[in-house]
Structure 1
Amino acid sequence: MENKMFCFQCEQTAGCSGCTGKVGVCGKNADVAALQDKLTGELIGLVRATGDVVPTGNVLKLIIEGLFTTLTNVSFNEQTLNELIEKVCTERERLVPQCFACASPCGTNNEYDLSHIWTDNEDIRSLKSLILFGIRGMAAYAYHAMVLGYTNDEVSHFFVKALFALGEDWGMDKLLPIVMELGKVNLVCMEMLDKANTGTYGTPTPITIDLKVEKGPFIIISGHDLLDLKLLLEQTKDKGINIYTHGEMLPAHGYPELKKYKHLKGNFGTAWQNQQKEFANVPAPILFTTNCLMPPKDGYSDRVFTTEVVSYPEITHIGDDKDFTPIIEKALELGGYDEDKQFTGINGGTSVTTGFGHGTILSVADKVIDAVKSGAIKHFFLVGGCDGARVGRNYYTDFVKQTPDDTIILTLACSKYRFNDLDLGTIIGGLPRIMDMGQCNDAYGAIKVAIALAEAFECEVNELPLSMILSWYEQKAVCILLTLLHLGIKNIRLGPTLPAFISPNVLGYLVENYNIAKITTPEEDLKNILG
């Protein structure tokens, strides 16, 4: 492997242009980055070898798992990446053995070299990056649905179509429609995940969660995978061990089939990027289920466990058998705190609320509509997305604090930790002004609410008193943005920086057609929005 990388898929990429050294900002080294590119190239080779068919069974699982594994903050482990690469190669050879016995190989079915993308014309590189990063994000949603038994032929086929396009020498005229189609298909994928989660765990309902950790043994679970949480709750039942969510797992408290477990006690910590500080002296093990892992510090690495596609060298991994015994034993060994310990959010609040999914909000839609018509509600702000450590993200806290009392803040994903412990009072029917709609995985819910309001007022979504103030960090934010563009939603404010992989020409297209703008200051943006 070479000892340098090129990677610009996340918001914190070095110099807002690309990580090119031996270690990326996320913590992955150049060898891991090269293996992730190799894995992606093998997936492109797989779909080119097998043809334009809807993948099922092991092929579908390999495509989804392979793409998800290359998401930021998922895998830092060369061994597991090599094992997955070998699985893809084996599957390709099994499906098309004639290619491997061919005396005159054409080369089109081999591993694709991703350096062709990174060194291409900047506009082609930009569009192919949107496709690649978008399907990586969509693969995360498809993965969570797949483990619950849900798949969709349109979604599955598009993974093949998009991967095939990445390996072709196509111009902008052929790539741009695929970029926009990705947004359309991702909406289908997010709807599928919504059905999977609500069909399995029930419709979320509002709940207030104390940020106190009770004395005694406990386990912290981070990430997005609700099935992992359910299995952990089952295996720790009646063992005297409490479970606390972290980061994007917070909205799990709203699901009836999860909050019925009395030892699902509360939430520990804030967003993913604070974990190295927050986990430093915690007398409990931490389970990472999805793309939230930062390289564990020596002071707590012996307490970190991973599962599913998450992997880090020398960290204990819970395999497909989902036997959480090592975590349970570690929790009992560490013993937890000797007495109850009160923690607070970033702004000093001692509790947070969640569970305001589309089912809850639409159940009071008539009251919301009447409040808008009467002037009691002047504006809706969707302030959500990924959090991160780059300077300037305090913008989102300041923005929410400055919103008028007659406005509602809808939020989702981990950026809410910037402000979700604030008490901004209530509005119609005692609803809090800040309503947490869930994980980034629940973005479909926010879209459904916006469409329902537009239908109620017999107008377009762009005509609603609704503004989207979004933050981004990784690839799931890319596919969500493309879905919003597919729906024709305009005037999105995006930050804290614009993606490094967007070329000036592609950015110009987005600005001209959708009026996307970078955030400025809370004061200036509120003035422009509210007039």
Structure 2
Amino acid sequence: MKSIASLVPRLARSSRSRILASPRLAVPTQRFARSFSAVAPRAAEPITSFCFQCEQTEHGTGCKAHVGVCGKTPTVSALQDLFIYQLQGISQYAHEARKLDAKDADIDLFILEGMFSTLTNVNFDQTAFERYLAHGERVRADAKAMYEAACKAKGVAPKALHGPAVLNLSPILNDRPALEAKGLSVGVMARKAAAPNDDIHGLAELSLYGLKGMMAYTAHARALGQRCEEVSAFCAEAMAALVDAPKKDVPELLSLALKVGEANYKAMQELDQGHDTQFGTPAPCEVQTSAVKGKCILVSGHDIHDLLAILEKTAGKGINVYTHGEMLPANTYPELKKHKHLIGNWGGPWQLQKMEFSRFPGAIIMTSNCMVEPQKRYRERIFTRRFVGWEGIPHIGDDWSNFDAVVDAALSAPGFIKDEPKTSVPAGYGHKAVVGMAGPILEAIKSGDVKRFFVIGGCDGTEGERSYFRDVATNVPNDSVVITMGCGKYRFNREEFKPTAGGIPRLLDAGQCNDAYAAIQIAGALAGALGCKVTDLPLSFAISWFEQKAVAVLLTMLHLGLPNIYLGPALPAFATPNMLKILVDTYGIRGINHANYESDLKQMIQGK
């Protein structure tokens, strides 16, 4: 069976998407208490498409009808919703088959990679989704046949499955308007209409978006050879469970969301093991952030496995390789550092790519999410890979068959004409490195040299409110240590953090967003060494979220009962007042006060 990535057309046709919106004005903190019902469609303005799965939606409530803030067209939005529905049908059969000891790794992988393709800023190519849907029909038939064969082998009658399990797209696969209409009939607004109230709908969406993030991490791990049957089984189980979300109550859906968090912890663990197995254990170092003279390729996204392949394919070609965005931590892995043409990290977070890619004088590869519409100034030298897609942009398939075009683009571009003044940032403080520093850290805690730990990181975005995270990080007391991960660190990782009086680094970059796992491991190790619970640690969290990977990480934090979580720049638009009350009362989550970070910081220092 082909992987989902192989179905993206190598050269797609046209683009109708607009550029990413400019940073919007600060949104009042009342967004913390908003309800989805506040953005219900008016009779005079019927909504033909709607999406509110990320933080940066239009007006903070959701993108509707026209092109989304991310650049997603209504057609792509509808096709994605239809694809998710189809994947739920496949999951229904896969889940029931597993109960009878039947499973198929290819079907499991299709579900994982398919969901990954629907994350924010991953795939904007409507042609790709038409191909996915056509292939999905065959996968659903395979899943159904597997289930029925398992029933026959066990001597039981097959269940009469419903909803997406009986979806039949074959008659309309070549009819784009019909596919789009079908997508609207089963998409987010249809799910809302089927729910008895907004609380049920909001909690179901919370689990769905968390599943998307969890499956993305699992797909990354699969690329590294990791196989966790427990996670695969849960993916199918949870997707199938959401088919009947309108019939469930709040406790059931809240329990499902926490189970997503539990499974995501295992997925992040799986990915962590895959990285260490393939690339060695990250080690603290200074990562160069300045360019050197020569031809060049910039690798963005999250997939470190792809970076290794790029390094191997450019060896000896006179091309320097730089990481970008969430790929910065790749520079701390020993097996990757062996490649001397891996120069370091160039540029900043994902949302600056239009400006930065325009200035980068070489080829650019997007390996996973965080893509925005390519600009004319670099459209001829940017390429997508695996799950990523944009119509009109060359795509590199699973076999790297189009990689020669990337090399040609790099050699044809001017490259850097001279060395830039050398600059660097600290990185490589994964959980094994920090646990290795346990002795000095514990001594610093006992002596009072270190009194508090702050986990500050997550996603970045365009809003000015996100400066809150820089302000908190750069103003924590000198007897505090900041642990960071994700692209949110670009808000402050170039600032100077002088070591504590005892020499402990005060900024510990743990890695990518999935390395929230590292922060959790560090917290657990500290609690064990101090003989206390994690909830009793002098530990505060200031988490910036943007898309569905961050939702998965948040659910993991809730599952683990981590304390003192400040979340922003705004709470999800799909969260109703009742949902927010549960989060606040049960888990202590607070919306950030971006207008007055000093107040929040004071509360954090007091352990509140």
TM-score past 0.5 threshold: yes
- Counterpart of 1:43 in structure 2 is 87
Distance 1:372 1:432 in 2: 13
2:334 is the alignment partner of 1:256: yes
Which residue, out of 384, 393, 405, partners 2:478?
405
* 1:96 Cα deviation after fit: 2.5
Which residue, out of 593, 598, 606, partners 1:523?
598
* Maintained 8 Å contact 1:386/1:471: yes
2:29 is the alignment partner of 1:21: no
* Maintained 8 Å contact 1:42/1:110: no
Q: Deviations over 1:453-486 (max 9, x none)?
A: 1111111112111100100000011111111111
* Maintained 8 Å contact 1:211/1:342: no
Distance 2:605 2:145 in 1: 63
Distance 2:128 2:450 in 1: 51
* Superposition TM-score, scaled by structure 1 size: 0.95
Which residue, out of 362, 372, 377, partners 2:450?
377
- Counterpart of 1:146 in structure 2 is 222
* 1:281 Cα deviation after fit: 2.9
2:380 is the alignment partner of 1:302: yes
2:282 is the alignment partner of 1:204: yes
2:228 is the alignment partner of 1:172: no
- Counterpart of 1:391 in structure 2 is 464
* 1:171 Cα deviation after fit: 2.3
Q: Deviations over 1:337-370 (max 9, x none)?
A: 2212348xxxxxx321111100110001111111
- Counterpart of 1:58 in structure 2 is 106
State the secondary structure of the residue aligned to 1:214. Answer: coil
1:34-433 to structure 2, matched below 5 A, reads: 34-54=78-98, 55-96=103-144, 109-111=165-167, 113-114=186-187, 115-119=189-193, 120=195, 121-168=197-244, 169-323=247-401, 324-342=403-421, 350-427=423-500, 430-433=503-506
Q: Deviations over 1:301-342 (max 9, x none)?
A: 111101010011010111011242111111111130221234
State the secondary structure of the residue aligned to 2:464. Answer: coil
Between 1:398-407 and 1:221-230, the stretch displaced more is 398-407
Let me know the Cα RMSD of the aligned residues.
Answer: 2.0
Q: Decide whether aligned partners of structure 1 residues 446 and 99 sit closer, same or farther in structure 2, where only a CA change above 3 A counts.
A: closer
Question: Which amino acid counterpart does residue 350 of structure 2 have in structure 1?
Answer: W
* 1:105 Cα deviation after fit: 9.3
Question: Which amino acid counterpart does residue 302 of structure 2 have in structure 1?
Answer: H
* Maintained 8 Å contact 2:485/2:516: yes
- Counterpart of 2:9 in structure 1 is none
State the secondary structure of the residue aligned to 1:494. Answer: strand
Q: Decide whether aligned partners of structure 1 residues 406 and 88 sit closer, same or farther in structure 2, where only a CA change above 3 A counts.
A: same
Distance 1:201 1:398 in 2: 34
- Counterpart of 1:32 in structure 2 is 76
Distance 1:426 1:98 in 2: 59
* Maintained 8 Å contact 1:3/1:22: no
* Superposition TM-score, scaled by structure 2 size: 0.83
Distance 2:248 2:335 in 1: 48
Question: Which amino acid counterpart does residue 152 of structure 1 have in structure 2?
Answer: C
* 1:110 Cα deviation after fit: 2.6
* 1:522 Cα deviation after fit: 2.0
Distance 1:99 1:253 in 2: 45
Instruction: Name structure 2 gaps, 5 residues minimum.
Output: 1-45, 149-157, 168-184
Q: Deviations over 1:63-90 (max 9, x none)?
A: 0011100000000000111111111111
Q: Decide whether aligned partners of structure 1 residues 357 and 428 sit closer, same or farther in structure 2, where only a CA change above 3 A counts.
A: farther
Between 1:421-430 and 1:78-87, the stretch displaced more is 421-430
Distance 2:526 2:94 in 1: 44
Q: Decide whether aligned partners of structure 1 residues 56 and 441 sit closer, same or farther in structure 2, where only a CA change above 3 A counts.
A: farther
Instruction: Name structure 1 gaps, 5 residues minimum.
Output: 344-349
State the secondary structure of the residue aligned to 1:489. Answer: coil
Question: Which amino acid counterpart does residue 477 of structure 1 have in structure 2?
Answer: A
* Maintained 8 Å contact 1:367/1:428: no
* Maintained 8 Å contact 2:92/2:237: no
Distance 1:118 1:394 in 2: 34
Q: Decide whether aligned partners of structure 1 residues 468 and 231 sit closer, same or farther in structure 2, where only a CA change above 3 A counts.
A: same
Question: Which amino acid counterpart does residue 287 of structure 1 have in structure 2?
Answer: I
* 1:210 Cα deviation after fit: 2.2
Q: Decide whether aligned partners of structure 1 residues 106 and 397 sit closer, same or farther in structure 2, where only a CA change above 3 A counts.
A: closer
* Maintained 8 Å contact 1:165/1:175: no
* 1:52 Cα deviation after fit: 2.6
- Counterpart of 1:346 in structure 2 is none
* Maintained 8 Å contact 1:3/1:31: no
Q: Deviations over 1:213-263 (max 9, x none)?
A: 111100000011111000000011111110000000000011000011100
- Corresponding residue pairs, total: 522
2:513 is the alignment partner of 1:457: no
Distance 2:164 2:392 in 1: 37
State the secondary structure of the residue aligned to 2:186. Answer: coil
* Maintained 8 Å contact 1:210/1:351: yes
* Maintained 8 Å contact 2:514/2:553: no
